[in-house]
Amino acid sequence: MLFEVWAPDAGSAALRLAGELRPMEPDPERPGWWTAEAEAGDGDRYGFALDGGPVRPDPRSRRQPDGPDGESAVVDHDAYAWRSEWAGRELPGAVLYELHIGTFTDEGTFDAAAARLGHLAELGVTHVSLMPVCPFPGVHGWGYEGVSLWAVHEPYGGPEGLKRFVDTAHGLGLAVVLDVVHNHLGPSGNYLPAFGPYFTETHHTPWGAAVNLDAPGSDEVRAYLLGSALAWLRDYRLDGLRLDAVHALADTRALTYLEELSAAADALSAELGRPLPLIAESDLCDPRTTTPRGEGGLGLHAQWNDDFHHCLHTALTGESQGYYADFAAAPLAGLAKTMTSAFFHNGTYSSFRGRTHGRPVDVARSAAHRFVGYAQTHDQIGNRALGDRLAASLSPGLLACAAALVLTGPFTPMLFMGEEWGARTPWQFFTDHTDPELAEAVRTGRRREFGAHGWAEEDIPDPQDPATRARSCLDWDELHREPHARLYAWYRELIALRRTLPDLRDPDLASVKAAYDDGARWLAVRRGDLRIAVNLDAKPAAIPLGNGRHRGGPGRVLAAWLPVDPPGPDGMLHLPPESCVVLADD
């Protein structure tokens, strides 16, 4: 077996395998690389020592059995016997479901989560979007401080556990997308700087020195990240990647890393014969993120749309602090704008940023499925002081309205785990740092951050307290109680409509029409022969919908949260308080 490591500044390198140090030789074909041939099999422990220093894990480690600080282990990916034949699922028409392995169940493992996948198949979602699974310190955490970008967190079940999870999902017709973090690595257990210039002081990010995408040595760093991304898709048969915070990838090269990654993913997709979409998280409001490479864009396949979320959140809750201030003055007008032109900030002034922000979307050329729409995400819940979900403060009727706008809207819809039944368990920020100084810094920083916004320090959950993670685990018993069971049935009904009605999957963003009244708190959206109306007010609403296109009448009710009659001859829809309806033209 060939062992290899990139260490361009090292004067010598050694492989430690099965407790024995063996010298490595410079690779004459690849400057900076060291290699050694040795007999090894699945599970054998190894590491690398540079210049007689300590043994450290392989930067390209496929497994860290003892966590980020331990030795690496060989993984034989060919040894797993895949059970399910799988051709993949396209992103157009998809319904995503964001899931955190560590809190989806009390057990917090791949196998326990896999046992619940039948629920998602019954719900009607098509893609499970896994939060990061790379190794991180301790047992429990969000996963965004992962290291060893080719390996799988051992407490979740390691490489074999992830394969069993994906295999089970595919057997149920569910695709699996994985969240990967290329903009930074966790501070604890991150040994990359000891091997080479993986980071650069040329740029700085909220996490410190930037990942080196454009400074000297960046060719190998980009190859490292790209190789990791393709390994997830190939070795674990994953169906796509969600790319965390791509706006934090500092990259001044003419050919950007994201374009390289997009081209490589498309090439692998063609080779494997199944779709491999890349979904970006970006706060730039820039349509070029998902514009095809041949048209001057980065070529990613979709991007999260926080503007839609922020408008929806302010409309539902009335909150106006922080970045919600940009959307709070007229949230239903903002919803109408985002549902017809994708971004709220398309060159408009952002009071939160103190400058103009965003770029217009050419709706005639931008397919609606390239934007992901949602009412809740791990970020939008977990980055609140108490990690409270919408269900903690909203009525079932308002939750139903949020579901209607997400699941019948033009964008690719995404749910956050438990949302489908209005889970009232919080989802809080939790860590399990093994470094006491880092643990205290995180705890203090969290309390200082929210203390500046008026929260008492003692009210902020301690991220290191095991109870914080325990509170964040889903309570599956809620699903069988009211009002949760009724809300779950509503989600199933809406997803079934999306699956069966072509108008709800129409990618033509230019064809979406919207009317609203911010004072009366109603919004009506037309999608082909369908009309969706929501009344967020505590009073009944009279909504002028017109008489429909066809001579048969003003419409019929396809789905309604509360009993409602179709519009009368005058085209007026009388919608009960905090309720919603989906209508079809006769």
> What's the pLDDT score for residue 186?
85
One DSSP character per residue, 253-279 reads: SSS-HHHHHHHHHHHHHHHHTS---EE
Quick one: how many helices (H) and strands (E) in the chain?
Answer: 14, 27
- Residue 420 gets which letter from DSSP? G
Q: Tell me: pLDDT of 582 over 60.
A: yes
Please say whether the beta carbons of 205 and 184 come within 8 A: yes
Reported confidence tier of residue 219, pLDDT bands at 50, 70, 90: very high
SS (H, E, C) 465-494: CHHHHHHCCCCHHHHHCCCHHHHHHHHHHH
522 residue type, one letter = W
Q: Tell me: pLDDT of 551 over 90.
A: no
Condensed to tens digits (0 to 9), the pLDDT of residues 288-320 reads: 999 999 999 999 999 999 999 999 999 999 999
Please give the Cα distance from 109 to 178 (Å, whole number): 15
Catalytic residue (choose from 244, 251, 307, 419): 244
State mean pLDDT over 176-194: 94
132: preceding bond cis by omega (within 30 degrees): no
Q: Tell me: pLDDT of 521 over 90.
A: yes
Q: Sign (positive/negative) of CA torsion 510, 316, 305, 375?
A: negative
Least confident of 87-91, 319-323, 456-460, 467-471: 456-460
| Half-sphere CA count of 508, side-chain side, radius 13 A | 10
Of all residues in the chain, the percent with pLDDT exceeding 70 is: 98
Listed in sequence order, the DSSP H helices in 454-573 are: 466-471, 484-500
Please give the Cα distance from 575 to 543 (Å, whole number): 7
> What average pLDDT does the chain have?
95
State mean pLDDT over 443-456: 81
State mean pLDDT over 225-231: 98
CA–CA–CA angle 508, 518, 532 (5° rounding): 40
In the residue annotation, 437 being an active-site residue is answered as no
Please give the Cα distance from 334 to 163 (Å, whole number): 42
Residue 82's Cβ-count burial label (10 Å; 0-12, 13-18, 19+) is exposed
State mean pLDDT over 97-110: 98
Condensed to tens digits (0 to 9), the pLDDT of residues 52-71 reads: 999 999 999 999 999 999 99
Please give the Cα distance from 401 to 395 (Å, whole number): 10
What is this structure's pTM?
A: 0.96
Reported confidence tier of residue 552, pLDDT bands at 50, 70, 90: very low
> What's the pLDDT score for residue 550?
43
In the residue annotation, 281 being an active-site residue is answered as yes
Please say whether the beta carbons of 59 and 221 come within 8 A: no
Please say whether the beta carbons of 383 and 389 come within 8 A: no
> What's the pLDDT score for residue 547?
64
More confident residue, 186 or 172: 172
One DSSP character per residue, 335-386 reads: HHHHHHHS-S-EEEEETTTTEEEE----TTTSBGGGEEEES--HHHHHTSTT
Reported confidence tier of residue 208, pLDDT bands at 50, 70, 90: confident
Reported confidence tier of residue 449, pLDDT bands at 50, 70, 90: confident
More confident residue, 193 or 188: 193
Listed in sequence order, the residues at least 6 apart from 137 whose beta carbon sits closer than 8 Å to its beta carbon are 67, 68, 69, 145, 186, 188, 189, 432, 433, 434, 435
Please give the Cα distance from 172 to 161 (Å, whole number): 17
> What's the pLDDT score for residue 452?
73
Please give the Cα distance from 217 to 212 (Å, whole number): 8
313 residue type, one letter = H
> What's the pLDDT score for residue 548?
53
State mean pLDDT over 31-60: 97
Question: Of the candidates 329, 179, 189, which has an alpha carbon nearest to the alpha carbon of residue 245?
Answer: 179
Question: Of the candidates 189, 151, 181, 207, which has an alpha carbon nearest to the alpha carbon of residue 435?
Answer: 189
Listed in sequence order, the residues at least 6 apart from 497 whose beta carbon sits closer than 8 Å to its beta carbon are 407, 408, 504, 558, 559, 582
Reported confidence tier of residue 553, pLDDT bands at 50, 70, 90: low
Reported confidence tier of residue 554, pLDDT bands at 50, 70, 90: low
> What's the pLDDT score for residue 454?
74
Please give the Cα distance from 583 to 586 (Å, whole number): 9
Q: What is the set of domains in the chain, with CATH numbers? A: 2-56 (2.60.40.10), 96-500 (3.20.20.80), 512-584 (2.60.40.1180)
Beta-strand pair 530-535/579-584: antiparallel
First-to-last C-alpha distance (Å) of the chain: 68
Question: Of the candidates 545, 586, 579, which has an alpha carbon nearest to the alpha carbon of residue 563?
Answer: 579
Beta-strand pair 278-280/302-304: parallel
State mean pLDDT over 109-132: 98
> What's the pLDDT score for residue 451?
76
Question: Of the candidates 518, 484, 524, 514, which has an alpha carbon nearest to the alpha carbon of residue 318?
Answer: 518
Catalytic residue (choose from 220, 251, 260, 281): 281
> What's the pLDDT score for residue 444?
87
Q: Which residue has the tokens 């063609």?
A: 270
Q: Which residue has the tokens 């995180």?
A: 442
> What's the pLDDT score for residue 462?
93
Please give the Cα distance from 400 to 488 (Å, whole number): 10
